[in-house]
């Protein structure tokens, strides 16, 4: 049976919960609809996170991202919704979602949303945080 879009994010136990490490994902085929015109908006989602007790299962993430294909959403709203849903499912130590939307009307839009778990010190962030910031401007 073929896969279908889903709003469920499945998780699995972090195999190294005592260590801070980076998980980096790029989703180059994100689409949603412009809430004003109904035309498709295309983006690359860049997800970086430091897991705590759970990691996101990749197939469920793919099906979750697919669920936005027919939904109208402003870039800012959809980026924050995805981050909120991932934070709710994973409770990560740190997470950043960068949504790089392709040109529309001569304008490229990039929305960056972050979450830091209460009590987790930013000084303990791995070096990738600065690397990701410079990469999001490419």
Both structure tokens of 47: 């997800």
Residues 6+ away with beta carbon under 8 Å from 126? 20, 21, 22, 50
- Please give the helix or strand (H or E) that residue 14 lies within, else none: none
To the query of whether residue 52 is one of the catalytic residues in this protein, the response is no
* Catalytic residue chosen out of the listed positions 20, 32, 34, 85: 34
* Catalytic residue chosen out of the listed positions 20, 32, 41, 55: 41
Q: Any idea which residues carry the catalytic annotation?
A: 34, 41
């Amino acid at each position: 049976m073929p896969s279908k879009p889903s709003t469920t994010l499945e998780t699995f136990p972090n195999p190294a919960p005592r260590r801070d490490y980076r998980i980096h994902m790029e989703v180059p085929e994100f689409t949603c609809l412009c809430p004003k015109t109904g035309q498709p908006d295309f983006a690359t989602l860049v997800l970086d996170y430091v897991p705590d007790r759970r990691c996101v299962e990749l197939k469920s993430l793919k099906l979750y991202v697919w669920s936005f294909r027919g939904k109208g959403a402003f870039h800012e709203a959809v980026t924050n919704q995805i981050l909120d849903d991932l934070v709710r499912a994973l409770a990560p130590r740190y997470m950043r979602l960068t949504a790089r939307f392709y040109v529309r009307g001569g304008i490229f839009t990039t929305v960056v949303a972050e979450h830091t778990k209460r009590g987790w010190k930013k000084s303990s962030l791995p070096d990738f945080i600065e690397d990701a910031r410079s990469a999001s401007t490419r």
